[in-house]
Structure 1
């Protein structure tokens, strides 16, 4: 088995880029009040091993009972944990299967490969179905749902696989970018979302991606599975700083800051898209403060990214997402956009020389 390459945006062996378009973090951040909470966290003590107050706060925030809150060290940690759990539901005679989005975060596939899940092209036949909405790298709606998801209503729990345990054909909706939605509408209703696992990692929306902390809202009726996934986690899966971030996430002033930042990001995004289009780039539509774009014909995207990196500007080559020739760009403030434009002009001039 050949391991998949782990390719991510953000800092690399060259350090932190001055202008980092390769990350999907909220460029308005960090959220001041959450940063203050993280900095004030008491790192001299263990957190409460049961995370009683945190579970209660997240449950109130989402309007669910505390048992539905499954804490995780990060979204990536939960991706690997639930994949391992699904694997454990199978037998040698019936290996477990997974359905992945066509273009998606690499850890879904990494976890599936590590635990030996077989890939399926259609979601209805898979034991584990990954969805991400808005998606990465495209920032668009997810389109390939199992048929039962669309039939789920508040009064039709019996139509959903979650009504019988152990679970089969479970769906995990990665909602990492839902708080950063700038447009569009969710594909699933509230009733339909109650039938799937909803994975949240607020550090992106808060501009604090270095703090690793995540949680999942389990489906209604999946109490046994939620308990099993809790049991698979190590003790103190979250440290003091992760607890502080998630607790602050539930506060009204944090949500007000986030709401205000979205308006700023809309303006920055429009400016960034127009600037790239003026340079001959093709930009795909997205509902998020990140999008995919293709440089003008004749410009090699991989070579361009390498050249820009030497100038302190980093873009995310989208080849690993299954989009060769494209890059993903997070939306940054006007100063960074101007630096990108200048670097692109320099790179283009060098290519013509």
Structure 2
């Protein structure tokens, strides 16, 4: 029997198998987390019994919060699982997906596992090809922070509906920005990963909002009890957890603006208000390795097709200053590793 080759994992920021004791600027998460309301919900969850396999109570709470029906809410352990389920459910082998800018790596891996073709474009065409099943838009995009206007999103959603494609809006980092009106309709699937904004990424809370028909297909691909009790409890507590965001996200925005202004002295910076930004350094792999040797982790953007950029996610002002000083030393050649920063 001939089997397809095994595919490597998609590269991500954050921890690896190697021990790390320094400051991690590679993960886009709220540095003031974890949100104590959600952390308490995780700790107090009933881990001694199986949960309701339909998670109806959690879905009802989220549905009421969003003004939707429970049948339109799909729960998940991480948005990665939702992306894999979307590709399996709606893209046949040999099918096509379209992504505005380089997508989250799990989408590319899901497409490869499905033996589908992923097309990456810098601008979405006004008329989509008829053989495209999914259109992916990071809202905002990672790592650039760009996002489309409400009018542009409406145009894309309409184009998707015309050819029977689904528009996937990945809103992992939307809570960090001012909310904009979103398109509605059968063709729109919203992916939400609240762990980033709440500083609780380890619990992996995620869910999708979609039409009843789309949600049913995504639910059909989930194994039994696919959500740990703690993750389900965190999702159920989201409506009561918003004061934490109101208190901390303005601070995150302030820190990220200050960091962007300082790093702009070292090279071209792209920043659109998200907690993360990109800095052009010339050789991202070399700079990333040099900083790691100094106990500072940043994200090499080579896997996004941007080998000259690093992505930096803001921490507190005091912690950000350590990264700025390290990069300044590299620029002047006075640091332990002499890596030129443009």
Q: Give the shorter-chain TM-score range.
A: 0.7 to 0.9
Aligned to 2:279: 293
Change (3 A) 1:217 1:291: same
Q: Helix, strand or coil for the counterpart of 2:202? A: coil
The Cα of 1:13 is off from its aligned counterpart by 2.8
2:157 aligned with 1:149: yes
CA 1:311 to 1:100, structure 2 compared with 1: closer, same or farther past 3 Å? Answer: same
Match of 1:213 in 2: 205
State whether residues 41 and 244 of structure 1, in contact with CA within 8 Å, keep that contact through their aligned partners in structure 2.
yes
Unaligned ranges ≥5, structure 1: 152-158, 162-166
Say which of 283, 290, 294 aligns to 1:311. Answer: 294
Query: Does residue 1:261 correspond to 2:248, yes or no?
Result: yes
In structure 2, runs of 5+ residues without a counterpart are none
Shift of 1:60: 0.6
Tell me by how many angstroms 1:352 deviates.
8.2
- Flag the 1:349–1:39 CA change in 2: closer, same or farther, 3 A: same
Aligned match of 1:172: 168
For these two proteins, the number of residue pairs brought into alignment is: 323
Deviations 1:133-173 (A, max 9, x none): 0110111114886956257xxxxxxx935xxxxx9311111
Cross-structure match for 1:270: 257
State how far apart, in whole Å, the 1-side matches of 2:87 and 2:7 are.
16
Structure 1's 313 and 235: CA in aligned 2 closer, same or farther, altered over 3 A?
same
1:193, distance to aligned residue in structure 2 (A): 6.4
Q: Is the 8 A contact 1:100 1:109 kept in 2?
A: no
**How well do the aligned residues superpose, as a CA RMSD in angstroms?**
2.5
Question: 1:83/1:314 Cα in 2 relative to 1: closer, same or farther (>3 Å)?
Answer: same
Which has the higher relative contact order, 1 or 2, with Cα contacts under 8 A spaced 6 or more apart? 1
What SS does structure 1 have at the residue aligned with 2:201? coil
Shift of 1:195: 4.1
1:300, distance to aligned residue in structure 2 (A): 3.0
2: CA distance between counterparts of 1:213 and 1:258? 16
